[in-house]
Amino acid sequence: MTLVERLREKREDLRPMVRRFKRNKPAVLGLIIAICFLVVAIFAPHLAPYDYRVQDLERRMEVPSSDHPFGTDRFGRDIFSRVIVGTRTSVYIGFTATVMVVLLGAVIGIGAGFFGGSIESVLMRITDIFMSIPSMFLMIVFVAVFGPSLFNTIIVIGLTRWTGIARLARANTMAIRNEDFVEAGLATGASDLRIILRHVLPNIMAPIVVQASLFLGQAILTEAGLSYLGLGAQPPLPSWGNMVSDGQDYLTVAWWQATIPGAAIFFAVLAFNLFGDGVRDALDPKMKR
Amino acid sequence: MVLLALMIAGAMLFSFGCADPAEPEDPADNGEEPDTPDDPDEEEPTDERGDLVWSHAGDPVWLNPVLEQAGSDIRTNKVLFDQLIVLNEEAEPEGQLAADWEISDDGHLVTVNLVQNAYFHDGEPLTAEDVVFTYSLHLNPEVPTRYGSDLWPLVGFEELTDEDDPADFEEYEPVVAADEYTVEFHLDFPFAGFVTEALTLGIVPKHVIEAQMEGDTAITEIPFNANPVGSGPFVFNYWDHENEMIFDAFEDYHQGHPGADRYIRRVIPDPTVRAMEQQAGSIDVMAVTDVDVLADLDADPDVDVYAVPGFGYRTLAVVNDHPLWEDSRVREAIAYGIDQQSAVELYGGPMADLAADGAPIGPISWAHHPDLEARPHDPDRALELLADAGWEQDDNGVLRNDAGEAFEFDLLTFPGVERHDMNLIFQENLRGLGMEVGAREVAAPDLMYQMYGSDHRDMIFIGWSMSVDPDGEMWRRWHSDEDDHNNFYNFRNDRVDELLEMARFETDQDVRRDYYHEVQEILDEELPGINVFYSVSNIAFRSNFHGMRFGADGWQDFIHAIYQDPIQ
């Protein structure tokens, strides 16, 4: 079978799923909004009309106008530009943290589910320990020790939020592990790694992708929480979280400072959650009423 | 829009929820019974002088001026205990228990004549023996007092305060009762600042404390510390912990009946709630520490806000012997590169007064140098100085030296809105020069820990406090004996050392002023640190109160004179 034929076959396999997804209107809306955020994030430097760092102390806390569609903050910085650049920060952290969570969770979950025995016991007890520590507490301690930065924010979200994926991967791997085709592969002398990559991974990808798409919104929310506490993106780099934090003291006199980035968080998380729900329903038709 | 409105409403509800004051504790729950029927929950008819209600963020710990540590202790003790002298609005000494005082020509003897009509709240007269006893406690190394080191010029100070083998007080007699109402202070060193630094301690009653310390009871364990007997204008009456303290006017006070019948100290931790209570009229006076709260109170016609110059100054400090900062032209470039005026005007507001770059002594002090000023915001001049020091912008606008190293450092400060905002202005100003500057807020203990050592690269935006007599703070910060310690700048200048030493032992204030002026001129030229502003305290009183005086150590030193319009 040629590569083109193989791809065509794959596309045929996906067609019912895509059809189910398209019928789910909220999910499509979520996807559209998510794509908008992605486009804004990718082209942020070109879309922002002002340098997000430049202060204009003569024009502090100006109401939204044609010059500054989202107004200015207390340093006279353009909030529209800062929300755009903040989109890049939040989406970048959301995606990279999600990738890290998936990699870490999948490796541990598949390892536990596939090998069983003492390896499983050790890996799942580690998972239990991480689940029993309040993740926000762990994050604050980590950032306090290693210092706040974008990189550390990604690492800390990755290190504290992988447990759900690990449990999911383990349960699905255990189910696949007892399938005849896996037993057959082992009987033919195929290595564990080959069986995991060729047989286990493709069969457990669907639930992990669903979980990951739902986690994206959570990662953005977590980053916003950390930045709100001053532990995420550091000034002058904007993130939605630190913009809400900066603007909260001026809610009654300059509502736009906190509410606009707050609305951005709301819509981004909503969009990724709707999209994630849609993917889950599309991949698992049994769940659809 | 509906969604936005809901979010705003939610946020406001949350913020109001957080601001709710805690329910006051039931006085019956704390195991203490008030010793008079002054139950604060019962409405009482006010008599002709009325109450003076002050609100503060928390309770004091020690109602004993010998043991006081925190600001809440000090300000509370000032209404209970009188001192030999208090500092007036110009930070000059004014007699309180001292009728007058005299410094001998050689500066080795300070003689204080006490007023002869001062009594403790239990009716016993206050005499020279009480003063001697109070100072003997401060010189006892077993007594945890914060003021012991202020008495360093006294005869036998080293021996008396030796923790391992303290000498007997009687052996040296640094403080002597010459007669019933005359006290002599014998000094090893003729220190001109002795009066303002050492005679401002609250005097405690010998007969009460000695009796309570019988049988080797430590002074920290005596009941006096929570049920004190002082000689100040108000008498301790009632304490509902973390809620309210009540003090009654001392009718036999030596300066006359206080202007209020009761002084009430109420704990309200949240500054916004405090301001609301002040505007509602349920408290009469508060210290304003928040710019937004200040604006609200300023706009209220029933509240008068008084701006009082303070001793605090906020400075950008660096370790001068770090390779990045060792060239004074670099430090001067920072002074030109940052927009100090805008930062102070916009974010310090009425709580800050633009400081001269090199002069840490503010306008409240007699040693302030009136001719020194802040450098203007002049990025071009800053770039010239940096170029002279070997730092030039590359094609990308990044400032680099000959070795190609970028000019990068972090600007650290304690958490706080105004510090945060000023830090971000300076960060952006310095980025404009091509420096790569991170702005970080660090918890206070961490920041103090990070400050020392010549390998410390970061700049710290920190607040110090000038001592009433400049000697203490100027010596601590700028004398080379203190480098790697209080002089964390590691600033070393022989002429400054010499001037500080001469100023310490000179008794003529005019000559001392000249010395301190010259020190500040050198500091302004060398710029080991860049002062940004001198602090200004803001005190809000209900507008029906009068007679306030804002001494350098606080308005509480003159609380007896405060009165309100006749109550209808």
CA distance B285 to B165: 47
Per-residue CA distances from A71 to A92, A257, B304 (Å)? 25, 8, 34
- Checking if the pLDDT of B38 tops 60, the result is no
Q: How many residues does chain B have?
A: 568
Q: From the list A75, A234, A259, which residue is nearest B7 (CB)?
A: A259
Residues in chain B closer than 8 A to A55 (CB atoms): 425, 428
Place of tokens 């999910």: A27
The pLDDT value given to residue B114: 98
Within 13 Å, how many C-alpha atoms sit on residue B140's CB side? 14
- Checking if the pLDDT of B19 tops 50, the result is no
Residue B17: DSSP 8-state: H
Residue A6 burial (C-beta neighbours within 10 Å; 0-12, 13-18, 19+): exposed
Answer whether A248 sits within 8 Å of B425, measured CB to CB. Answer: no
Mutation target among B428, B433, B441, B458 for the A interface, most CBs of A within 10 A: B428
Q: Where do the domains of chain A lie?
A: 70-287
Residue B364: DSSP 8-state: T
Min Cα distance B60 → chain A (Å) is 30
> Which pLDDT tens digit goes with each residue over A29-48?
999 999 999 999 999 999 99
Number of Cβ pairs < 8 A linking chain A and chain B: 52
The pLDDT value given to residue B444: 65
- β-strand partners of B409: B437
* Helices and strands per DSSP (H, E), number in chain A: 13, 0
Answer whether B427 sits within 8 Å of A248, measured CB to CB. Answer: no
The answer to whether the Cα torsion of B72, B75, B79, B85 is positive or negative is positive
Residues in chain A closer than 8 A to B339 (CB atoms): 57
Q: What is the CA radius of gyration of chain A?
A: 22
Give the least confident one: A205-214, B38-47, B119-128, B418-427.
B38-47
Helix (H) or strand (E) holding B110: strand B109-114
The answer to whether the Cα torsion of A126, A132, A136, A142 is positive or negative is negative
Mutation target among B13, B424, B425, B458 for the A interface, most CBs of A within 10 A: B424
Per-residue CA distances from A236 to A51, A230, A282, B424, B553 (Å)? 11, 12, 41, 7, 39
> Under an 8 Å CB criterion, which residues of A touch B?
53-55, 57, 60, 74-75, 147-148, 230, 234-236, 248-249, 251-252, 255, 258-259, 262-263, 266
Q: What are phi and psi of A121, to 5 degrees?
A: -60, -50
The CATH number of A70-287 is which of 2.40.50.140, 1.10.3720.10, 3.30.110.30, 1.10.10.60? 1.10.3720.10
Cβ atoms of A44 and A237 within 8 Å: the answer is no
> Which pLDDT tens digit goes with each residue over B181-223?
999 999 998 888 899 989 999 999 999 999 999 988 999 999 9
Strand B109-114 and strand B182-186: pairing?
antiparallel
Answer whether A53 sits within 8 Å of B425, measured CB to CB. Answer: no
Q: What are phi and psi of B340, to 5 degrees?
A: -65, -40
Residues in chain B closer than 8 A to A54 (CB atoms): 428
Min Cα distance B530 → chain A (Å) is 22
Answer whether A249 sits within 8 Å of B440, measured CB to CB. Answer: no
CA distance A245 to A243: 5
- β-strand partners of B187: B154
Q: Is B53 helix (H, G, I), strand (E, B) or coil?
A: strand
Min Cα distance B56 → chain A (Å) is 22
> HEC string of B187-205?
ECCCCCCHHHHHCCCECCC
- Checking if the pLDDT of B11 tops 60, the result is no
- Checking if the pLDDT of B2 tops 50, the result is no
- Compute the average pLDDT of residues B453-473: 86
First to last CA, chain A: 37
- Checking if the pLDDT of A178 tops 50, the result is yes
Place of tokens 């102390």: A57
Q: In which band, very low, low, confident or very high, does the pLDDT at A11 lie, cut at 50, 70 and 90? A: low
- Compute the average pLDDT of residues B56-85: 92
Residue B322 burial (C-beta neighbours within 10 Å; 0-12, 13-18, 19+): middle
- Of A227, A264, A247, A263, nearest to A74 by C-alpha is A247
> Which pLDDT tens digit goes with each residue over B350-377?
888 999 999 999 998 999 999 999 999 9
Residues in chain A closer than 8 A to B415 (CB atoms): 230
The pLDDT value given to residue A15: 84
- Compute the average pLDDT of residues B234-259: 95
- Checking if the pLDDT of B251 tops 70, the result is yes
- Compute the average pLDDT of residues B379-402: 96
Residues in chain B closer than 8 A to A238 (CB atoms): none
Residue of A nearest to B272 (CA): A249
- Compute the average pLDDT of residues A46-75: 93
Residue of A nearest to B436 (CA): A236
Residue of B nearest to A76 (CA): B425
Amino acid identity of residue A162, one-letter, is W
Q: From the list B346, B427, B440, which residue is nearest A57 (CB)?
A: B346
> Under an 8 Å CB criterion, which residues of B touch A?
3-4, 7-8, 11-12, 15, 292, 339, 342, 346, 415, 417, 421, 424-425, 427-428, 431, 438-441
CA distance B168 to B353: 47
CA distance B441 to B415: 5
- Compute the average pLDDT of residues B27-51: 50
CA distance A27 to B393: 51
> Which pLDDT tens digit goes with each residue over B432-453?
999 999 998 877 666 666 666 6
Residue of B nearest to A252 (CA): B12
CA distance A161 to A158: 6
- Checking if the pLDDT of B7 tops 70, the result is no
> Which pLDDT tens digit goes with each residue over B494-523?
999 999 999 988 888 899 999 999 999 999
Q: In which band, very low, low, confident or very high, does the pLDDT at B418 lie, cut at 50, 70 and 90? A: confident
Interface ipTM above 0.95: no
Q: What are phi and psi of B496, to 5 degrees?
A: -65, -45
Answer whether B7 sits within 8 Å of A263, measured CB to CB. Answer: yes
CA distance B53 to B246: 9
Amino acid identity of residue B171, one-letter, is E
Answer whether B427 sits within 8 Å of A262, measured CB to CB. Answer: no
- β-strand partners of B554: B551
Min Cα distance A224 → chain B (Å) is 16
Q: Is B262 helix (H, G, I), strand (E, B) or coil?
A: strand
Answer whether A148 sits within 8 Å of B440, measured CB to CB. Answer: yes
Q: From the list A53, A74, A259, which residue is nearest B428 (CB)?
A: A53
Helices (H), B246-327: 271-280, 291-298
Answer whether B7 sits within 8 Å of A230, measured CB to CB. Answer: no
Residue A126 burial (C-beta neighbours within 10 Å; 0-12, 13-18, 19+): middle
Residues in chain A closer than 8 A to B424 (CB atoms): 75, 235-236
Residues 6+ positions from A283 with CB-CB distance below 8 Å: A17, A206, A207, A209, A210
Q: In which band, very low, low, confident or very high, does the pLDDT at B227 lie, cut at 50, 70 and 90? A: very high
Strand B436-441 and strand B408-413: pairing?
parallel
Q: In which band, very low, low, confident or very high, does the pLDDT at B454 lie, cut at 50, 70 and 90? A: low
Strands (DSSP E) found in B250-340: 262-267, 285-288, 303-317
Helices (H), B395-489: 417-432, 444-450, 471-478
First to last CA, chain B: 51
- β-strand partners of A225: none
Mutation target among A61, A78, A234 for the B interface, most CBs of B within 10 A: A234
Q: What share of chain B is helix, strand, coil (3-state, %, to 5)?
A: 35, 20, 45
CA distance B115 to B101: 11
Min Cα distance B351 → chain A (Å) is 18
The pLDDT value given to residue B41: 46
CA distance B174 to B188: 9
Answer whether A57 sits within 8 Å of B15, measured CB to CB. Answer: no
Residues in chain B closer than 8 A to A256 (CB atoms): none
Residue B203 burial (C-beta neighbours within 10 Å; 0-12, 13-18, 19+): buried
Q: How many residues does chain A have?
A: 289
Q: Is B43 helix (H, G, I), strand (E, B) or coil?
A: coil
The pLDDT value given to residue B14: 36
Answer whether B425 sits within 8 Å of A148, measured CB to CB. Answer: no
Min Cα distance A235 → chain B (Å) is 6
Answer whether A258 sits within 8 Å of B15, measured CB to CB. Answer: no
Residue of A nearest to B7 (CA): A259
Q: Express as a percent the part of chain B with pLDDT over 70.
A: 89
CA distance B405 to B324: 10
> Which pLDDT tens digit goes with each residue over A240-271?
999 998 888 788 788 999 999 999 999 999 99
Answer whether B440 sits within 8 Å of A75, measured CB to CB. Answer: no
Answer whether A53 sits within 8 Å of B438, measured CB to CB. Answer: no
Give the least confident one: A183-197, B18-32, B490-504.
B18-32
Answer whether A236 sits within 8 Å of B427, measured CB to CB. Answer: yes
Mutation target among B7, B16, B293, B437 for the A interface, most CBs of A within 10 A: B7
- Cβ atoms within 10 Å of B347's Cβ, excluding its own: 23
CA distance A204 to A171: 9
- Of B313, B342, B318, nearest to B331 by C-alpha is B318
CA distance A285 to A21: 10
The pLDDT value given to residue A246: 86
Answer whether B441 sits within 8 Å of A230, measured CB to CB. Answer: yes
Q: In which band, very low, low, confident or very high, does the pLDDT at B526 lie, cut at 50, 70 and 90? A: very high
Output the six-digit token pair for A284: 């698992």
The pLDDT value given to residue B34: 39
Residue B175 burial (C-beta neighbours within 10 Å; 0-12, 13-18, 19+): buried
* Mean per-residue pLDDT of chain B: 88
Answer whether A251 sits within 8 Å of B15, measured CB to CB. Answer: yes
The pLDDT value given to residue B567: 66
Residues in chain B closer than 8 A to A150 (CB atoms): none
- Checking if the pLDDT of B466 tops 60, the result is yes
B291: left (phi over 0), alpha (psi -120 to 50) or beta: alpha
The pLDDT value given to residue A230: 80
Q: In which band, very low, low, confident or very high, does the pLDDT at B12 lie, cut at 50, 70 and 90? A: very low
Cβ atoms of B142 and B124 within 8 Å: the answer is no
Q: From the list B346, B421, B428, which residue is nearest A236 (CB)?
A: B428
